[in-house]
Amino acid sequence: MAPHAIAIIGQGSPDSGRAIDDAEECGRLLARRGVTVVTGGLGGVMAAASRGAKSEGGLVVAVLPGIDPGVANPHADVVVCTGSGEGRNLAVVASARAAIAIGGGWGTLSEIGLAKRIGRGLVLLGTWHVGAPDGWDPGDAPLLATSAQDAVEIAVGL
Amino acid sequence: MAPHAIAIIGQGSPDSGRAIDDAEECGRLLARRGVTVVTGGLGGVMAAASRGAKSEGGLVVAVLPGIDPGVANPHADVVVCTGSGEGRNLAVVASARAAIAIGGGWGTLSEIGLAKRIGRGLVLLGTWHVGAPDGWDPGDAPLLATSAQDAVEIAVGL
Amino acid sequence: MAPHAIAIIGQGSPDSGRAIDDAEECGRLLARRGVTVVTGGLGGVMAAASRGAKSEGGLVVAVLPGIDPGVANPHADVVVCTGSGEGRNLAVVASARAAIAIGGGWGTLSEIGLAKRIGRGLVLLGTWHVGAPDGWDPGDAPLLATSAQDAVEIAVGL
Amino acid sequence: MAPHAIAIIGQGSPDSGRAIDDAEECGRLLARRGVTVVTGGLGGVMAAASRGAKSEGGLVVAVLPGIDPGVANPHADVVVCTGSGEGRNLAVVASARAAIAIGGGWGTLSEIGLAKRIGRGLVLLGTWHVGAPDGWDPGDAPLLATSAQDAVEIAVGL
């Protein structure tokens, strides 16, 4: 049976800053626990998380929007080309038990919504603040983490 | 050439309340202007917007997640079965020049993200509050509307 | 409730020849019967079928692969941008009660397979010959038509 | 960088017979060459190919239609849930350099079309016979193999 997988979702650029450091650390910590890391396969947070996981010998999966595997960052063991465009955001979060969202990006916001929509666990680390409208009950709220280590602890425990 | 289309996105239930009234009014106002109304084709906000548009003789398009047209609400002139599951959220917003988001729903949040990700205009009416993380520039923010009439004015002007 | 829809699937080029004449005639005949015509929204067979239907005042739906409505042929009343790439082939056949396949194209072959996979009626007119392997029962075979008129009669009767 | 991957596409049932034996042997032979095996993740040919590859220590990827990883056969190292329904057929062939089609199934026929549509190499082993219509040039035809060993030799050489 496939090992547990956790998705790290986040902005595709820039390639440095707090979000990048957090993503790389999350990748490392997940790999050390034997958790497969799934990302959207491109740059920024996606590349950093993949690089971190690979540096610890983890299994890394890139789930790309298009059909050209050549655009994936170089840290993935498996490159899946969905051909679904931004529709691949659903595949990223659906392919994991839980997702850790890091940093900005409108695509990241869409993945936050999709992860909750399909009932996946979700941990937020320095990312979008989302507030439901009055009179609508969002059910279980996403969980807030204060550090990469905290985010991984929460996600693995879900 | 196809007429302009505007998407109304929002929660699939319940079927009454402020969001439902707003959605129905937006549908009516868009139809009166000759704008095609696109929704996700199910209940709640989607049904209300479609019903409103249909009551004014508008052209109404339902973009469903699955392959069974029988689950669409009864107000659509055209029922598109994407077969893409929640991936159809992309098709809903991509098929319109702009989207008006009303009420709650995690799927609605994903559509807010997707609309901005692909550069569509977006108007928020009594829906999610979204705040970008520190250090990430979301570019043009979605526009806030205070009433159905206001939302339609803004969306049509985009 | 939405009117019945039939998809016309076929090659995106060239724009003249037997397949194009057949597609345009199918579009005309379907529109005269009040049937909505669904196509993949681009050139060749798709444009011809749409042009034929429009010339008779029919309702025409274009289901595009990408997110840019500007690439649609000019004959559609409704342009749906799935953003699913070639995955939109599923949406084309799923959005109709039955499909008429005309001419060549590898994408057309995929739509033939998808239409049968999801249980839609399928009529073949001057298109791929497909033969199931020994030992596998394909169930109901697609129906062969000998002319545009024949194809429409069969499709409408399914 | 990710290792080369080859997809094995084919019917989801039954679970015995010539197609199943061929799929399992293809899986074994690909794994021995260090090639990642990608399938649609369900039963029949998909399970057999995965079981064969796993028995030789290969890396096996399951690309599922839905969002429930629990329906995957038990032989995959990585389970990707596309949530795209039959649209995942595109992801299966797009995620590999080449595909080997074995046995029947309408979904298999759709994958044959999709693989060629997006320019992937394609080898046919005891599967659909497809003949293009008169007057349409399909370009490079799929390659016919006479045995599992032959299919793998051809696919790896593409």
Kindly report, residue by residue over B72-111, the tens digit of the pLDDT. 999 999 999 999 999 999 999 999 999 999 999 999 999 9
The pLDDT of residue A140 is 83
CB A109 within 8 A of CB B124: no
Question: In 10 A of CB D3, how many CB atoms?
Answer: 13
Please enumerate in sequence order all residues whose Cβ is within 8 A of that of A33, keeping only pairs 6 or more positions apart, or say none: A152, A156
Question: Which of D103, D106, D129 is the closest to C131 by Cβ?
Answer: D129
Q: Is the pLDDT of residue D4 over 60?
A: yes
Q: What is the dihedral of CA D122, D123, D125, D127, to 10 degrees?
A: 20
More confident: A2 or D125: D125
Question: Which of B36, B74, B91 is the closest to C81 by Cβ?
Answer: B91
Q: Is D86 on the interface with B (CB under 8 A)?
A: yes
Q: pLDDT band at residue B45, thresholds of 50, 70 and 90?
A: very high
The pLDDT of residue A135 is 83
Please enumerate in sequence order all residues whose Cβ is within 8 A of that of C65, keeping only pairs 6 or more positions apart, or say none: C40, C82, C84, C85, C86, C87, C88
Q: Is D110 on the interface with B (CB under 8 A)?
A: no
Most C CBs within 10 A among A64, A67, A68, A84, hence the mutation to make, goes to A84
Q: Which of A2-11, A37-46, C63-72, D67-76 has the lowest mean pLDDT?
A: A2-11
Nearest residue on chain A to C67, alpha-carbon basis: A85
Mean pLDDT computed over every residue of chain C? 96
Most C CBs within 10 A among B81, B92, B116, hence the mutation to make, goes to B81
Q: Is B83 on the interface with D (CB under 8 A)?
A: yes
Amino acid in position C76? A
CB D150 within 8 A of CB C32: no
Which subunits sit against B, judged by 3+ Cβ pairs under 8 A? A, C, D
Name the 3-class secondary structure at C16. Answer: coil
CB B27 within 8 A of CB B19: no
Kindly report, residue by residue over C40-78, the tens digit of the pLDDT. 999 999 999 999 999 999 999 999 999 999 999 999 999
Q: Is the pLDDT of residue A68 over 80?
A: yes
CB B101 within 8 A of CB B127: yes
Q: Is the pLDDT of residue A40 over 80?
A: yes
Q: pLDDT band at residue B38, thresholds of 50, 70 and 90?
A: very high
CB C96 within 8 A of CB C122: no
Nearest to C129 by CA among C101, C90, C152: C101
Kindly report, residue by residue over A15-35, the tens digit of the pLDDT. 999 999 999 999 999 999 999
CA gap A84, D90 in Å, rounded: 9
Most A CBs within 10 A among D37, D51, D79, D111, hence the mutation to make, goes to D79
DSSP A12-60: S--SSSHHHHHHHHHHHHHHHTT-EEEE-SSSTHHHHHHHHHHHTT--E
Overall average pLDDT of the A50-70 stretch: 98
Q: Is B106 on the interface with D (CB under 8 A)?
A: no
Nearest residue on chain B to C115, alpha-carbon basis: B67
CA gap C150, C35 in Å, rounded: 16
Q: pLDDT band at residue C141, thresholds of 50, 70 and 90?
A: confident
The pLDDT of residue C139 is 86
The pLDDT of residue D77 is 97
The pLDDT of residue D38 is 98
Overall average pLDDT of the D139-155 stretch: 95
Q: Put the strands of the sheet holding C60-64 in their side by side order.
A: C78-81, C60-64, C36-39, C5-10, C98-103, C121-127, C143-144
Name the 3-class secondary structure at A6. Answer: strand
Q: Is the pLDDT of residue B39 over 90?
A: yes
Which subunits sit against C, judged by 3+ Cβ pairs under 8 A? A, B, D
Overall average pLDDT of the D2-14 stretch: 92
The pLDDT of residue B2 is 72
Name the 3-class secondary structure at D53. Answer: helix
Amino acid in position B98? A
Partners of residue B84 in chain D, C-beta under 8 Å? 83-85, 87
The pLDDT of residue A1 is 53
C78 and B5: CB-CB below 8 Å? Answer: yes
Nearest to B30 by CA among B123, B128, B142, B113: B123
Mean pLDDT computed over every residue of chain D? 96
Q: Is the pLDDT of residue A87 over 60?
A: yes
Kindly report, residue by residue over A102-152, the tens digit of the pLDDT. 999 999 999 999 999 999 999 999 999 999 998 888 888 889 999 999 999
Overall average pLDDT of the B38-62 stretch: 98
A116 and B103: CB-CB below 8 Å? Answer: no
Proportion of chain B above pLDDT 90, given as a percent: 92
D113 and C131: CB-CB below 8 Å? Answer: no
Question: Which of B1, B69, B95 is the closest to C80 by Cβ?
Answer: B95
Q: pLDDT band at residue B1, thresholds of 50, 70 and 90?
A: low
The pLDDT of residue A55 is 98
Nearest to C39 by CA among C1, C11, C14, C13: C11
Q: pLDDT band at residue C1, thresholds of 50, 70 and 90?
A: low
Give the sign of the dihedral formed by CA A69, CA A70, CA A73, CA A75.
positive
Predicted ipTM?
0.96
The pLDDT of residue A70 is 96
Distance (Å) from the alpha carbon of D82 to chain B's nearest alpha carbon: 9
The pLDDT of residue C137 is 87
Partners of residue A77 in chain D, C-beta under 8 Å? 2-3, 59
CA gap A28, B35 in Å, rounded: 51
Q: What domains sit in chain B, N to C, each tagged with a CATH number?
A: 5-157 (3.40.50.450)
The pLDDT of residue D153 is 98
The pLDDT of residue D139 is 86
